[in-house]
A = this chain, B = another copy of it.
Amino acid sequence: MDQVEIFKALSNKSRLQILNWLKEPETNFPDQAVHGYANGVCVGQIQMKAGLTQSTVSEYLSTLQRAGLVKSNRVGQWTYYQRNEEGFALLNQIIQSEI
């Protein structure tokens, strides 16, 4: 069952916060402006805001990506993350019809 993975990814306060922050990157990650927001927000920005170690944030973003809730773009040495709205559409569908 794949639904469980999604809900596990959502079962953590920091990960929920990250998803929420990524709804409004310009507001929540002003320092990202240098890089632009087209590809998402890079890990370092998220790490600073989350107040967790780099490894933890990287791990959390992988978890969210495996669950389909974010997607990433590697550009040079940076990895940009942004919400994957398709994943949220799937989540809605799961809740409406499979639970």
Enumerate chain A interface residues (CB-CB to B < 8 A).
Answer: 1, 3-4, 7-8, 10-13, 16, 19-20, 88, 91-92, 95, 98-99
The quantity of this chain's copies bound in the complex is 2
Q: Report the nearest B residue to A10, measured CB to CB.
A: B7
14 CB-based A-B contacts, threshold 8 Å = A1-B13, A1-B16, A3-B16, A4-B13, A4-B16, A7-B10, A11-B11, A16-B98, A20-B98, A20-B99, A88-B95, A91-B95, A92-B92, A92-B95
Q: Is the contact region of chain A dominated by helix, strand, or loop, or is it mixed?
A: helix
Residues of chain B within 8 A (CB-CB) of A99 are: 10, 16, 19-20, 88
Q: Report the nearest B residue to A22, measured CB to CB.
A: B99
Residues of chain B within 8 A (CB-CB) of A92 are: 92, 95
